C-alpha cells in the first residue's frame, strides 16, 4: 500500500480511505470489525466516519461500532488515522447541529466518547455553516487543538470561496486552518474541477473524494443488470440516463482488461491533488476487490478516452467558460 502526505502536512495516509457509512445500516457490527481488520492488513490506515452515520438522530451508531472495535486493543488505535465530522443534527435542540462553538465543543466530546479515544486525528466540518462567523468556528477549533482532542481540521462540501475565506481567517489567527477537503468527485461528477480543486492546490489541501463510483454507476452497472442483480430505483434511472456513456466506458474497460470500478478509482488517483478516494465497502469481498486500482497506470490515451466519454466542465474557471 502506498502512503502519501495528507495535504501540506507531514501526516502519512494510505492512498485509499476506508469509508464507514455502511457500518450499522447495511453492514453488521461483526462484519464491520472484519473489514476494519482486513483494511489494516492491506495497509489502509485512513478511516473516515461522521457523527451522523447510522442515521438515527443522536445515536452515532457508526462511531460506536468503530469505538468498540478500537477498544479491542492490538494497537488498533495507534495504527489508524481517524477522521470524523461535525455539523449534522444530533438532537432536538436548535444548538445540536451546525458549527456554533457550543455545538463543536459538545459534538467533539460526544464523538470522543463513542469512538473510545482521547483524540480525533482529522476533525472535518461536514458542510459550510453560513450562519456562524469564522472567528467563532476557528476559536472553537483552536481550543480543541490546544487541548489535544483534535490534531488537524478539514472541511467537506465546501465551495472554493469557503476554503479561501476559511484560510484567510485562519492565517490572521496564526492557525493552520484546513488541511483537507472532502468533496463529491468521480467521472460523472466533475464540477469541482472548476474551482474547488484549484483552491485545494493553491492552499495545500488534500482532496478526499467521496462517492468515487457514483453510487455504483461506475462499478460495472450494465454488466450487473445483465447478471440480474437488483438495483435501486434511483440507480436504474441513472443507468438509463447514462446508458450510452456506460456502454462506451465498460467497453473500454474490457479492452484494457480492467474492471470499471478499478478504472474509475485509478482515474481519481491520477490527479495529483487527490490524497485518497473514499471506498465504502459493505462486504469484505468489496474491500478486497478495491485494491487493484492502485496497480493501474493511466495512459494518456486512456485518459483522453475517459475525458471524451465523461467530459468535465472544461477545466478550471474562468477558462472553462471564458477566455
Q: What is the mean pLDDT of residues 110-121?
A: 98
- CATH number of the domain where residue 278 is located: 3.20.20.100
Handedness of CA 260, 285, 28, 225 (dihedral sign): positive
Query: What percentage of the chain's residues is helix, strand, coil (to nearest 5)?
Result: 45, 15, 40
Average pLDDT over residues 42-47: 98
- Predicted local confidence at residue 250, as pLDDT: 96
**Residue range of the domain that includes 192:** 3-215+259-298
- pLDDT at position 48, please? 98
Q: Which residues neighbour 83 within 8 Å (Cβ) at sequence distance 6 or greater?
A: 17, 46, 47, 48, 49, 120, 121, 122, 123, 124, 154
- On whether residue 233 sits in a domain, the answer given is no
Query: Domain count of the chain?
Result: 1
Residue 230: band (very low, low, confident or very high) from pLDDT cuts 50, 70, 90: low
Residue 131's pLDDT band (cuts 50, 70, 90): very high
Q: Contacts from 158-162 at CB under 8 Å and sequence distance 24+?
A: 158/125, 158/128, 158/183, 158/196, 159/128, 159/195, 159/196, 160/194, 160/195, 160/196, 160/198, 160/199, 161/195, 162/128
Q: Give a yes or no: residue 71 inside a domain.
A: yes
pLDDT tens-digit map of 264-288: 999 999 999 999 999 999 999 999 9
What number is the average pLDDT over the span 288-300?
96
Kindly indicate the confidence band of residue 231, based on its pLDDT and cuts at 50, 70 and 90. Answer: low
Cell numbers standing for residue 104:
463543536
- Give residue for cell 461500532: 65
pLDDT at 226: 59
Average pLDDT value over all residues in the chain: 96
Average pLDDT for 14-39:
98
222 domain-assigned: no
Other CB atoms within a 10 A radius of the CB of residue 57 amount to: 14
Q: Would you call 163 helix, strand, or coil by DSSP?
A: helix
Q: How far is the C-alpha of 288 from the C-alpha of 94, rounded, in Å?
A: 42
> Residue 140: which of 112, 182, 173, 94 has the closest Cα?
173
State the residue for C-alpha cell 469557503. 162
User: Residue 167 corresponds to which cell in the numbers above?
Assistant: 484560510
Residue 73 lies in a domain: yes
Q: Kindly report the CA angle at 119 between 114 and 125, in degrees rounded to 5?
A: 80
Does any domain span residue 111? yes
* Catalytic residue ranges: 53
pLDDT one-digit tens code per residue, 135-146: 999 999 999 999
Q: What is the pLDDT of residues 146-196, one digit of tens each?
A: 999 999 999 999 999 999 999 999 999 999 999 999 999 999 999 999 999
Do the domain assignments include residue 88? yes
In a domain, residue 307? The reply is no
What is the reported pTM? 0.95
* Residue 204 cell numbers, joined: 495545500
User: What's the rounded mean pLDDT across residues 233-254?
Assistant: 92
In a domain, 247, yes or no: no
Amino acid at each position: 500500500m502506498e502512503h502519501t502526505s495528507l495535504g501540506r502536512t507531514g501526516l502519512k495516509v494510505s492512498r485509499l480511505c476506508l469509508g464507514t457509512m455502511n457500518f450499522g445500516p447495511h453492514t453488521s457490527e461483526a462484519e464491520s470489525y472484519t473489514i476494519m481488520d482486513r483494511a489494516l492488513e492491506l495497509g489502509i490506515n485512513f478511516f473516515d466516519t461522521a457523527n451522523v452515520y447510522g442515521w438515527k438522530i443522536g445515536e452515532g451508531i457508526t462511531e460506536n461500532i468503530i469505538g468498540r472495535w478500537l477498544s479491542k486493543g492490538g494497537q488498533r488505535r495507534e495504527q489508524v488515522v481517524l477522521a470524523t465530522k461535525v455539523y449534522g443534527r444530533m438532537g432536538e435542540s436548535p444548538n445540536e447541529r451546525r458549527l456554533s462553538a457550543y455545538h463543536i465543543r459538545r459534538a467533539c466530546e460526544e464523538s470522543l466518547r463513542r469512538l473510545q479515544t482521547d483524540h480525533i486525528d482529522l476533525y472535518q466540518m461536514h458542510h459550510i455553516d453560513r450562519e456562524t462567523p469564522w472567528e467563532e468556528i476557528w476559536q472553537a477549533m483552536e481550543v480543541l487543538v490546544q487541548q489535544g482532542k483534535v490534531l488537524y481540521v478539514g472541511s467537506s462540501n465546501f465551495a472554493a470561496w469557503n476554503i479561501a475565506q476559511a484560510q484567510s481567517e485562519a492565517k490572521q489567527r496564526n492557525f493552520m486552518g484546513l488541511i483537507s477537503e472532502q468533496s463529491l468527485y468521480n467521472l460523472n461528477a466533475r464540477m469541482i474541477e472548476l474551482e474547488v480543486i484549484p483552491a485545494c492546490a493553491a492552499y495545500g489541501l488534500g482532496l478526499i473524494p467521496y462517492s468515487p463510483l457514483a453510487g455504483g454507476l461506475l462499478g460495472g452497472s450494465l454488466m450487473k443488470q445483465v447478471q440480474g442483480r437488483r438495483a435501486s430505483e434511483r440507480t436504474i434511472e441513472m443507468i438509463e440516463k447514462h446508458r450510452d456513456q456506460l456502454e462506451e466506458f465498460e467497453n473500454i474497460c474490457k479492452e484494457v482488461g480492467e474492471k470499471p470500478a478499478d478504472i474509475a478509482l485509478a482515474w481519481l488517483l491520477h490527479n495529483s491533488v487527490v490524497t485518497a478516494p473514499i471506498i465504502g465497502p459493505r462486504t469484505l469481498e468489496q474491500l478486497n476487490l478495491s485494491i487493484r486500482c492502485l496497480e493501474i497506470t493511466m495512459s494518456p490515451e486512456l485518459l483522453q478516452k475517459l475525458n471524451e466519454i465523461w467530459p468535465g466542465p472544461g477545466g478550471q474557471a474562468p477558462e472553462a467558460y471564458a477566455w
